[in-house]
Amino acid sequence: MLGEQGEVIGLDFTAAMLEVARQAERKAALTTPIIWQEADAMNLPYPDECFDGVTIGFGLRNLPDIDQGLREMRRVLKPGGRLVCLELSHPTWPVFRHGHKLFVRFAVPSIGNLSRRGERNYQWLSDSLQRFPGAAELADRMLQVGLKDVEVHRLSGGIAAIHKGIRC
């Protein structure tokens, strides 16, 4: 619960993406306005232990150093505060895992080749996902940066996952 004094801050380092977020906010007609900030998730412009919760959606995979991103989110959480991360992942069921691997490696870049503008984005999606750790490894890395009670919820056969953790 946000409460009457609660604030929500939305952060991205791309101004155009913040504009997309503002438009989505207007459509959603929220009761509490979101404070949008242009900043780097690798070096959050907030003091230690100032948030009750931090959430990141399809962002962690894009950071140049996942552990540094996790450390930063942990740093700004109050003790007992919760981190929730939604991100693409890798299926674990062997046959599906293999097919998904081939799809990400070969089909995703090919989809991008169909449009000039999409080419780099789809290649990035393919490369970043191939590099990204599986759900169990990500859970372990969350523990290593000082989060506890880490939970993993695999979605759609494991092609995405929600990770939750509490700041120690």
Q: Using CB under 6 A, list all residues that contact ligand SAM.
A: 12-14, 17, 40-42, 57-59, 62-63
CB-nearer residue toward ligand SAM: 13 or 103: 13
CB of 168 to ligand SAM, least distance (A): 24
Could you tell me the smallest distance in angstroms from the CB atom of residue 121 to ligand SAM? 9
Closest approach of Cβ 17 to ligand SAM, in Å?
4
Strand partners, 70: none
> Locate tokens 């996952």: which residue?
161
Burial 93-119 (b: 16+ CB within 10 A, else e): eeeeeeebeeebeeebbeebeeeeeee
In DSSP terms, 167 is beta-bridged to 147
Cα angle value 163/73/21 (rounded, 5°):
80
Q: Please, which residue, 59 or 118, has the CB nearer to ligand SAM?
A: 59
CB nearer to ligand SAM: pick between 57 and 80: 57
The conformational region for residue 92 under phi > 0 = left, psi -120 to 50 = alpha, else beta, is alpha
Name which of 12 and 167 has its Cβ closer to ligand SAM.
12
Task: Give me the sign of the Cα torsion angle 118, 120, 123, 125.
Answer: negative
Query: Among residues 86 and 150, whose Cβ is nearest to ligand SAM?
Result: 86
- Contact present, 146 and 77 (Cβ < 8 Å): no
- At its nearest, how many Å lie between ligand SAM and the CB of residue 115? 17
Q: What is the closest distance, in whole angstroms, from the C-beta atom of residue 23 to ligand SAM in the complex?
A: 12
